[in-house]
């Protein structure tokens, strides 16, 4: 049974304003994107308009907001627009940003959600990625944060916050997250801050664009604004921030998430744990071993891929290798202290990458993939019996029968090895 289709926007919409922390003028334009693209920010104010993918691997900061970076290119305070994209189930979009930060608008999520509705979301001819939870996933932070994600057929967030300020105190709420509920129950909730912190934050280059027009500000007496949109507006905004950070998974989520004192740092830790859980428990292969052998010439003991769990032709692939103590290489490699040879980890990664070219292979007889170059190889941690290696390989450049790729091998969500490859399809 197939799942929901991916979605993108069908027309451009632009929002303008200032950055909450930078105080600089900013604009944001939503543009359509091809299936499998995901959400990408493009800094149109910088030479060459460099892009930053909105995913967990590009998180560069979580202080008073979530910052993404690719090299020297940064985009700050992305969580509000990502929350709207996630709640409206927009899987693919290119977000042009002029300035270092997404415009804060009124400090809530509602302008982004309204703009996305106006941008007329449309379905695409590709199945959406969905993360489900088959067993509890728990994360505990150093500052009292805790999260538990459990099985559910829809996304629900139950959260508690606790502030000493009398206008906030302890608040709890539980929210089903779909487009209608998000727009009415969560999207209007604004970000908040404390007047006593303003001078210190601005001296550090933060909150320079904050005002009563885009932030609920509290002093020792209470709320300085005209009023609140909800009695528990502070809690609702924290739930919206959590949704925005979880959108960095690049997947729709079906789970009940219970969060105590959520923070951006804790939200990202939960997202990383959910990603690791999904990789570990995914049992529905796109390609099983029998299908893999139709495209790769390798056989035991050199076939090092057990299954492919995700494949976007010409773009990216995810493959699994279950490492057991019965692997033949353990007999002679560090006897008594079994460690998977690094060259075989890279070989397994390359085999997964080779399957990215299977469309080209299936169109021609007696063709095989040869790897021509290997660069930037790094080993981050040993791989031992009992580990499940998850290989993620993406295309950097594809020209006819030659492909440049970047790959990573992960164990429990942590990078074990990474490398870049150049591969070519040649006669067998």
What is the spatial distance between Cα 35 and Cα 45, in angstroms, rounded to a whole number? Answer: 26
Q: With CA atoms as reference, report the closest residue to 90 among 12, 179, 1.
A: 179
Active-site annotation holds for 298: no
What is the spatial distance between Cα 258 and Cα 255, in angstroms, rounded to a whole number? Answer: 10
Identify the active-site residue in 58, 80, 256, 264: 264
Find the helix packing angle between 264-281 and 233-246, rounded to 10°.
40
What is the spatial distance between Cα 287 and Cα 309, in angstroms, rounded to a whole number? Answer: 7
Task: Report the 10 Å Cβ neighbour count for 51.
Answer: 16
3-state secondary structure of 4: coil
Please name the residue that has the structure tokens 């490398």: 419
What is the spatial distance between Cα 293 and Cα 307, in angstroms, rounded to a whole number? Answer: 10
Structure-token pair, residue 182: 């998000």
DSSP for residue 249 = G
DSSP for residue 184 = I
Cα distances (Å, whole numbers) of residue 96 to 42, 82, 99, 391: 5, 14, 10, 30
Q: CA-based Rg of the chain, rounded to a whole angstrom? A: 23
Active-site annotation holds for 58: no
Residues in CB range of 4: below 8 A, 6 or more apart: 89, 127, 128, 130, 252
What is the spatial distance between Cα 239 and Cα 232, in angstroms, rounded to a whole number? Answer: 11
Nearest-5° Cα angle at 295, 294 to 301: 80
In a 10 Å sphere around its CB, with 0-12 CB exposed, 13-18 middle and 19+ buried, how is residue 399 labelled? Answer: exposed
List active site positions: 264, 333
């Amino acid at each position: 049974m197939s799942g929901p289709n991916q979605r993108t926007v069908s027309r451009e919409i632009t929002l303008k304003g200032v950055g909450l922390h930078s105080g600089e003028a900013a604009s944001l334009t939503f543009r359509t994107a091809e299936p499998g693209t995901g959400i990408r920010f493009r800094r149109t104010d910088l030479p060459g308009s460099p892009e930053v993918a909105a995913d967990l691997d590009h998180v560069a900061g979580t202080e008073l907001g979530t910052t993404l970076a690719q090299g020297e290119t940064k985009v700050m305070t992305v969580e509000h627009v990502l929350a709207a994209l996630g709640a409206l189930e927009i899987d693919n979009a290119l977000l042009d940003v002029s300035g270092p930060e997404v415009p804060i608008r009124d400090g809530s999520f509602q302008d982004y959600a309204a703009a996305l509705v106006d941008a007329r979301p449309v379905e695409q001819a590709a199945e959406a990625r969905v993360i489900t939870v088959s067993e509890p996933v728990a994360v505990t932070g150093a500052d009292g944060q805790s999260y538990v994600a459990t099985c559910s057929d829809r996304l629900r967030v139950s959260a508690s916050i606790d502030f000493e300020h009398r206008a906030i105190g302890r608040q709890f709420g539980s929210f089903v997250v779909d487009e209608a509920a998000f727009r009415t129950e969560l999207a209007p909730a604004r970000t908040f801050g404390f007047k006593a912190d303003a001078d210190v934050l601005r001296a550090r280059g933060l909150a320079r664009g904050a005002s009563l027009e885009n932030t609920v500000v509290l002093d020792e007496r209470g709320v300085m604004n005209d009023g609140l949109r909800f009695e528990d507006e502070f809690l609702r905004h924290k739930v919206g921030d959590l949704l925005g950070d979880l959108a960095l998974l690049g997947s729709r989520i079906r789970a009940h998430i219970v969060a105590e004192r959520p923070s951006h740092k804790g939200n990202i830790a939960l997202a990383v744990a959910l990603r690791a859980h999904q990789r570990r428990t995914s049992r529905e292969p796109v390609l099983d071993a029998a299908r893999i052998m139709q495209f790769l010439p390798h056989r035991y003991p050199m076939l090092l891929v057990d299954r492919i769990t995700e494949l976007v032709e010409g773009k990216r692939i995810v493959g699994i290798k279950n490492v057991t103590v019965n692997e033949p290489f353990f007999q002679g490699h560090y006897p008594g202290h079994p460690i998977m040879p690094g060259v075989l980890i890279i070989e397994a990664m390359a085999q997964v990458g080779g399957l990215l070219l299977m469309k080209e292979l299936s169109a021609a007889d007696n063709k095989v993939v040869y790897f021509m170059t290997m660069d930037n190889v790094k080993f981050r941690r040993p791989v031992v019996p009992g580990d499940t290696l998850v290989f993620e390989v993406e295309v950097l450049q594809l020209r006819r029968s030659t492909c440049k790729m970047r790959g990573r091998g992960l164990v429990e969500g942590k990078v074990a090895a990474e490398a870049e490859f150049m591969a070519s399809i040649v006669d067998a």
